[in-house]
Structure 1
Amino acid sequence: MFQVPYESRLKECGSKHLALYLALREGITSGLLEPGARLPSTRQLAELYRLSRGSVSLAYEMLAAEGYVRTGIGQGTFVSGRHGLSAIRPATGERQAEAEETAEACAQKPILSAWGERVAGEADKLFGGAAADSNFKGISFVPRGMGEKGFPFMEWKSVVSAQWRRLGSIADNHWATEGSYRLRRVLAERLGRERGIRCAAEDIVITGGSMQAIAIIAQLLLEEGRAAVMENPGYPGIRFAVQATGASLHPAEVDEEGILPRDWDAQLLFVTPTRQFPTGAVLRLERRLELLEWAARRGSWIVEDDYDSDFRWGGRPIEPLKSLDGEGRVVYVGSFSRTMRSEVRIGYAVLPQALRNSFIQAKRLYDPHPEGIAEQNALADWIAEGGYDRHLRRMRRIFHKLQERLKRGLDGSLAELFEIVPSDAGLSLFAYWRGDEASYRLLRERSRERGVAWQDGGKYRISDSENRPSALFGFAHLDEKEIESGIDRIRLAARELGLIPHEDQGGSNHA
């Protein structure tokens, strides 16, 4: 295996051949690549770092021009000997000028726009810990959708393959940025039947997941000097989208019945009324009507993120804000990434007429032609033929059992530690910690040592107005034995810390 610090150099300067040149030069001058060592061929190095052979050849030429390597026709490329390295003279001509300019460019950070600075800064704060969570090898309750086990890959593959064959026979493959008309028509029918939302295919735009729709709306309606409201706690991606625009962000507190309406001075409200994220609270009808009255009075807009509501275990169906919207102030956003797989980046926005054309033009900037048109048409057929509903019915049965198993565990041996927020839907359970913050942090650390982790609820808070620790437990990617084992490990960690009495024998969840 041949290894030089190529990735870190690429991150610094963004140019592939320059990054390789700098990485190889560092390897030579540091002694990592010893004098006389033979370097990989251009083909081998290109394959190793996924570069073009031209990029590798250019890097080798720059090193040779400065005396760091020597080449022989038909022999290969070698690190110069000790005598040659000590006698290196600065290269002359165009190669020297390019090396100096590019080395200086790599050493300097780019001057970003105000938008770029906000995006970079917020991304580090919101997503900086994602790598550590993804590398955890134990039982993780950190939510990540349904995982690998539940999705009917072969059935979906067959439907998509049929669409690719059909696309290949079409002479003109031009598609509108709004997305597959067939899928939009099927969605309009489905939303009317299952959500009570009356809309036409023309009111719907297919997006790359719900986050793209949220970001486009934020960019259309927000800027410095304007304001948006979002739930606290709430989805970090919404905070990211708002703060990237430079707008002010007002946190709106949430209780067991959802967001608490206020007379906000804001242009935009983001809300998850059907199942509040992350708590799972359902917004009662009176509050939904208050939000609509606020939007009409203020001339403001509401983005309704219909998060996780396809997986409902009980209770009556909830009327979306969009179905109650008589003034055309609500953008309804949905996604198939939760009910299928996170890799299936198909979301959609149902837009009021006043915003529709502006949204389409904004999306056209990013996607002049829609991505994944075969997958969009395949999904339309899968829904129309009943395959998607069969999949949902099966997963609802499975996930309900998993949710009940997790709830029994948290309400049983861990009831002294966590207070679950009741929820009739979704793929996660939210719970408040009953003790102080210090004991909560100790339990999280000891539990990780025992091979179990969960999502800290503090990740979803915008402000620290309520400093009560909380946790989010996802379950759809696990099986019953993993859930039982995870609960037992948390219980044992709590006993070790003295948070649960050792004499308690009722904690096993293998009921």
Structure 2
Amino acid sequence: MELGLPFETYVEQYKYKYLALYHAIRAAIHSGRLPEGTRLPATRELAKLYGISRGSAAQSYDMLMAEGYVVSRQGSGTYVAEGITVPEQPPPAEAVPLLSAWGRRLVELRDESAEARRSELAPPEGTISFADARMPMEDFPYDEWRSALNYAGGSGGKELSSGAPPEGALELRRAIAGHLRFTRGIQAEPEHIVIFSGSMQGIVLLFQLLLDPGDRAVIEDPGYDGIRRGVSATGGIPLPAPVDASGLVPVDWDARLLVVSPSRQYPTGAVLPLERRRALLNWARTRQAYIIEDDYDSELRWGGKPIEPLKMLDDEGRVIFVGSFSKTMFTGLRIGYAVLPPSLTNAVVRAKSLYDPISPGVLEQRALARFIASGGYGRHLRRMTRRYGARYRTLREAMDAHAGGLFRLRPCDAGLHVYADWLQSPAEYHAFRQAARSRGVLFRDATVYSCTPGPPGACFGFSQLERANIEAGVLRLASAWADMQKNGKPGMMEREYF
């Protein structure tokens, strides 16, 4: 690699080039851009790079060596010396960015769920975390996926140099269309499917296309807070709509857009009844509005009857069905998609082409298409739903036996987490979270998903935990409550677990 120095700037300050080079390297060492132990270029290379004589380059190194900035190692080269005291320097004054209205709205929005996730990163060794809801890679059919990647690259990697249009690889769009027709009853056509780098990229782009500043968009309360922030950043006005045990409660909202997760409400897991689904479609028809159907993890269903998506019931082109493979596959696979009404497809593709003239992750897209077409994806889903169903039942049994006075788990027949209502006082909930952390067990605080104040709740992810860890984690929750009782905080439970 070439050594990048502001050589021309120093040439303007110093009469001789060897002095300019000396000061440029010395400043780079002082600033920390050249840390101790860094190997510097040979004098021949340095001379060629900056258009000076080799003697001038050698003279610069001699001066740096005399002052202890660099050392020469026989047969190895010149290195930045160790133990150099770098003087404290005030940070340079930065210009205040003149952001657009969109930029100002974006930076002013608080991302509470991201803050919560950061607090859960790198927990102490031995911690049992219900805060994480993901597919453990040891459960993933990596050999099948690697085979699909090899196929997607082509013989000798010849397919790696070819791209895909902004809407995504055609073979993946065909595979998604076939999968949705068979498993969800959605009459999807490849030309009306657009691939995104995760479902949220598609949802926010739809906000930009469908909302003018000041337009109202209905969002679920509680609901995924990224939806709320996306509407606000676009300049729209989020209109929180209450969610009960059956999901979103339909009313005649004065709004242009609705975002809903009917097959498995986030975060409560409620399933929207058919009559409410029809009511939402009637609302969209009356208001000439669009509905974004967020189907984030309902494919992982181990119980209950198949759910009819809103998109399946839509006969007027009012519903945009958004799905993701980041939950059903693995978190690092950032592939989402939208099934669009024909009238919206051109606008979405044009907007997508501004961000991605060539669709990113084409190798993964083609591999996923192969994985679906070969039946590997279907087999993977069947294995995972059986496994996650068993883990959920383990969690429910353990909670009922040992922590039933603390949490009431909501009904759940799909997904990677379950929502739980806190049964004690709000003040005790916050104290309990800290006591649980001290006992080495984490869970997700669900209050970050609420727009309006309400009773505390928690999300317990179970997909990544084996039976023994689930049971041990629940016993730690019970012990945390017992710790609070010992410290003078009364509660309903009397036993202690260690």
Give the TM-score band, short-chain normalised: 0.7 to 0.9
- After TM superposition, the score normalised by the length of structure 1 is 0.80
1:432 match: secondary structure: strand
Amino acid at match of 1:140: S
CA gap 1:414/1:171 in 2 versus in 1, 3 angstroms? closer
% identical aligned pairs: 42
| Counterpart among 310, 314, 320 of residue 325 in structure 1 | 314
| Counterpart among 389, 393, 396 of residue 385 in structure 2 | 396
Q: Which whole-Å CA distance do the structure 1 matches of 2:156 and 2:27 have between them?
A: 45
| Counterpart among 35, 38, 41 of residue 41 in structure 1 | 38
| Counterpart among 114, 131, 148 of residue 118 in structure 2 | 131
Which residue in the other structure is 1:365 paired with? 354
Are 2:449 and 1:452 aligned? no
How far off its partner does 1:310 sit? 1.1
Residue by residue over 1:209-238, the C-alpha shift from the partner in whole angstroms, topping out at 9 and shown as x without a partner, is: 111111111111123211111100101221
- After TM superposition, the score normalised by the length of structure 2 is 0.82
CA gap 1:171/1:241 in 2 versus in 1, 3 angstroms? closer
* Structure 2 counterparts to residues 247-258 of structure 1, below 5 A: 247-258=236-247
Are 2:339 and 1:350 aligned? yes
Are 2:477 and 1:486 aligned? no
How far off its partner does 1:417 sit? 1.2
Are 2:284 and 1:287 aligned? no
Q: Which whole-Å CA distance do the structure 1 matches of 2:315 and 2:291 have between them?
A: 13
Are 2:259 and 1:262 aligned? no
* Structure 2 counterparts to residues 47-446 of structure 1, below 5 A: 76-77=79-80, 103-104=92-93, 106=94, 108-122=95-109, 124-137=111-124, 138-166=127-155, 168-170=157-159, 173-446=162-435
CA gap 1:22/1:371 in 2 versus in 1, 3 angstroms? farther
How far off its partner does 1:168 sit? 3.2
How far off its partner does 1:126 sit? 4.3
How far off its partner does 1:23 sit? 9.1
How far off its partner does 1:355 sit? 1.0
2:337 match: secondary structure: strand
Q: Is the 8 A contact 1:491 1:500 kept in 2?
A: no
Are 2:470 and 1:476 aligned? no
Amino acid at match of 2:386: R
Q: Is the 8 A contact 2:317 2:342 kept in 1?
A: yes
2:168 match: secondary structure: coil
How far off its partner does 1:344 sit? 0.9
How far off its partner does 1:143 sit? 3.1
Q: Is the 8 A contact 1:69 1:80 kept in 2?
A: no
Amino acid at match of 1:363: K
Amino acid at match of 1:292: L
Amino acid at match of 1:178: E
How far off its partner does 1:286 sit? 0.7
2:154 match: secondary structure: helix
CA gap 1:117/1:504 in 2 versus in 1, 3 angstroms? same
Amino acid at match of 1:112: L
Residue by residue over 1:414-440, the C-alpha shift from the partner in whole angstroms, topping out at 9 and shown as x without a partner, is: 111111111221111101111111111
Q: Is the 8 A contact 2:300 2:415 kept in 1?
A: yes
Amino acid at match of 2:481: A
CA gap 1:251/1:22 in 2 versus in 1, 3 angstroms? farther
Q: How many residues align?
A: 444
Q: Which whole-Å CA distance do the structure 2 matches of 1:236 and 1:197 have between them?
A: 27
Q: Which whole-Å CA distance do the structure 2 matches of 1:224 and 1:269 have between them?
A: 16
2:139 match: secondary structure: coil
Q: Is the 8 A contact 1:337 1:344 kept in 2?
A: yes
Which runs of no fewer than 5 residues in structure 1 stay unpaired? 1-19, 45-52, 55-60, 86-98
CA gap 1:143/1:383 in 2 versus in 1, 3 angstroms? same
Q: Which whole-Å CA distance do the structure 2 matches of 1:206 and 1:166 have between them?
A: 25
How far off its partner does 1:117 sit? 2.2
Which residue in the other structure is 1:14 paired with? none
C-alpha RMSD of the superposition: 3.2
Q: Is the 8 A contact 2:69 2:84 kept in 1?
A: no
Amino acid at match of 2:152: Q
1:103 match: secondary structure: coil
Which runs of no fewer than 5 residues in structure 2 stay unpaired? 1-24, 42-48, 51-59
